[in-house]
């Protein structure tokens, strides 16, 4: 590990407690600075946040270690991001695109899995290693796509609703795939009862929130807003609800970020303009840590020899093609442009692919070079998605904002 530059070592060690503000300054400041540069170059601002993590991490300057603090900040960042997106989407709008979203999610799982599995077998890797690579390619990181769609102001567009609904379904399907391959690697068999139970609980949780969340919030939130005396009472209640739903989601077997999204969606019809503004402000603080964390977890130095580089490029190409084609076919009834937009929106793997790869590494099912390839695929698809989404949505005008809601400059 290269040593920290003398100036940074001095700044972090010269004053007791300086490590935390230095770490926050480097990550947040770099993410915002590079986001500004990205915007000036005509690219989405989130590309700058992703590149900040690569620059600060082990791939280049190694100035920041991805530790427990940054992991926690990244988790908060993506939860606030999905909560913010949920506030802009009504449950009834997602239900309308449910059939299309289901087809998109299913094909967007089957094709990537088969592509990854076949490429790994063709490269003479063991069966279990091939299966884990296929599993790492199935899930979609909705956080990145949601950020681009929110920044363009098109969350209510039909294709955007299909992407968000498909990503929620994708999370359940990805959980199912992970459960199967984890069971195979640890015991050599499949725990059908456990997988069926966890899948049923996950589906029941999502359906219950989609069906009952909005009516309940419409009844409860106005009453609390009138009776509570604490400052920014609506914001306090909403954020508490966000964390409660994230907790319930994890206990139900789906990701915390899905709970955060469902919490926002439940509040979408009753949230005041003030709540929208405060949540956007919280996101401006926390989301850069999520974006930078993706780059901080990639170490390009582990991909050294020619065969690993070739495998990484093949997997990356297959990851883009399989999601683009599979999800695009599922959305064929939206027309060619609509299918292309949905396909592009489902491409980023982000932290989801890395989590699956980490499980495989911990189980001894994949080697370190294959783990590096999976992480490279996850990060590269995440970086490539924003400019691709900007291109396919270039002719869609933003929707008007609700009265009284002012977005921060990075989201206008």
CATH code, domain carrying 368: 1.20.1530.20
Under 8 Å between Cβ of 162 and 93: no
- Indicate whether 187 belongs to any domain: yes
20 vs 314 pLDDT, higher one: 314
Average pLDDT over residues 238-258: 88
Is 113 inside a domain boundary? yes
Confidence of residue 203 (pLDDT cuts 50, 70, 90): confident
Find out whether 260 and 15 touch, Cβ atoms under 8 Å: no
Mean pLDDT, the chain, as a whole number? Answer: 84
Residue 331: what pLDDT?
Answer: 94
Please count the CA atoms within 13 angstroms of the CA of 83 that sit on its side-chain side.
32
> Of 81-95, 100-114, 203-217, which has the strongest mean pLDDT?
100-114
Percent of the chain whose pLDDT exceeds 70: 89
| Distance separating alpha carbons of residues 31 and 38, to the nearest angstrom | 10
pLDDT at 408: 43
Model confidence over 396-407: pLDDT tens digits?
Answer: 887 665 555 444
pLDDT band at residue 306 under the 50/70/90 scheme: confident
pLDDT at 304: 74
Average pLDDT of the segment spanning 43-58: 86
Residue 102 belongs to a domain: yes
- Residue corresponding to tokens 């919490």: 263
- Domain of 101? 90-276+305-411
Task: Give Cα separations from 408 to 8, 283, 286 (angstroms).
Answer: 31, 10, 13
> With bands split at pLDDT 50, 70 and 90, how would you rate the model's confidence at 191?
low
In a domain, 294, yes or no: no
Q: Which residues contact 369 (CB under 8 A, 6 or more apart)?
A: 302, 303, 308
**In the predicted model, is pLDDT for residue 162 greater than 80?**
yes
The pTM for the full model equals: 0.77
Q: Is the pLDDT of residue 314 over 80?
A: yes
Residues 328, 166: Cα–Cα separation, whole Å = 12
In a domain, 77, yes or no: no
Q: How confident is the model at residue 410 (pLDDT cuts 50, 70, 90)?
A: very low
Gap between the Cα atoms of 22 and 188, Å rounded: 47
Greater model confidence, 56 or 88: 56
Average pLDDT of span 237-252: 91
Report the number of distinct structural domains present in the chain: 1
Q: Quick check: is 24 in a domain? A: no
Asked if residue 328 belongs to a domain, the reply is yes
Q: Residue 9: inside a domain, yes or no?
A: no
């Amino acid at each position: 590990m290269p040593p920290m530059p003398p100036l940074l070592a001095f700044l972090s060690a010269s004053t007791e407690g300086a490590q935390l503000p230095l770490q926050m300054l480097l990550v947040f400041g770099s993410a915002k600075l590079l986001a500004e540069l990205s915007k000036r170059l005509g690219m989405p601002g989130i590309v700058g946040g992703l590149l900040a993590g690569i620059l600060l991490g082990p791939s280049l300057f190694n100035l920041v270690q991805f530790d427990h603090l940054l992991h926690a900040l990244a988790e908060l960042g993506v939860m606030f991001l999905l909560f913010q997106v949920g506030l802009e989407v009504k449950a009834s709008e997602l239900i309308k695109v449910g059939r299309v979203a289901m087809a998109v999610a299913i094909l967007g799982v089957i094709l990537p899995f088969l592509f990854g599995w076949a490429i790994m077998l063709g490269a003479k890797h063991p069966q279990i290693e091939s299966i884990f690579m296929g599993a790492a390619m199935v899930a979609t990181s909705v956080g990145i796509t949601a950020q681009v769609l929110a920044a363009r102001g098109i969350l209510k567009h039909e294709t955007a609703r299909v992407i968000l609904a498909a990503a929620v379904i994708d999370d359940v399907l990805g959980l199912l795939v992970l459960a199967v391959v984890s069971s195979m690697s640890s015991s050599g068999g499949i725990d059908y009862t456990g997988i069926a139970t966890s899948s049923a609980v996950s589906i029941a949780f999502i359906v219950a929130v989609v069906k009952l969340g909005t009516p309940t919030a419409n009844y409860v939130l106005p009453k609390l807003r009138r009776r509570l005396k604490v400052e920014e009472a609506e914001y306090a209640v909403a954020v508490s609800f966000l964390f409660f739903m994230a907790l319930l989601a994890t206990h139900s077997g789906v990701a915390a970020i899905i709970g955060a999204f469902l919490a926002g969606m439940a509040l979408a019809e009753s949230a005041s303009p003030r709540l929208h503004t405060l949540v956007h402000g919280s996101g401006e603080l926390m989301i850069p840590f999520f974006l930078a964390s993706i780059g901080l977890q990639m170490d390009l130095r582990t991909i050294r020899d020619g065969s690993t580089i070739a495998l990484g490029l093949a997997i990356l190409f297959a990851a883009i093609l399989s999601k683009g084609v599979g999800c695009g076919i599922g959305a064929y009834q939206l027309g060619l442009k609509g299918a292309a937009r949905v396909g592009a929106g489902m491409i980023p793997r982000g932290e989801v692919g890395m989590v699956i790869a980490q499980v495989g590494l911990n189980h001894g099912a994949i080697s370190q070079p294959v783990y590096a390839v999976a992480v490279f695929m996850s990060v590269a698809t995440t970086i490539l998605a924003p400019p691709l989404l900007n291109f396919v949505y270039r002719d869609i005008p933003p929707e008007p904002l609700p009265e009284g809601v002012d977005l921060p400059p990075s989201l206008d």
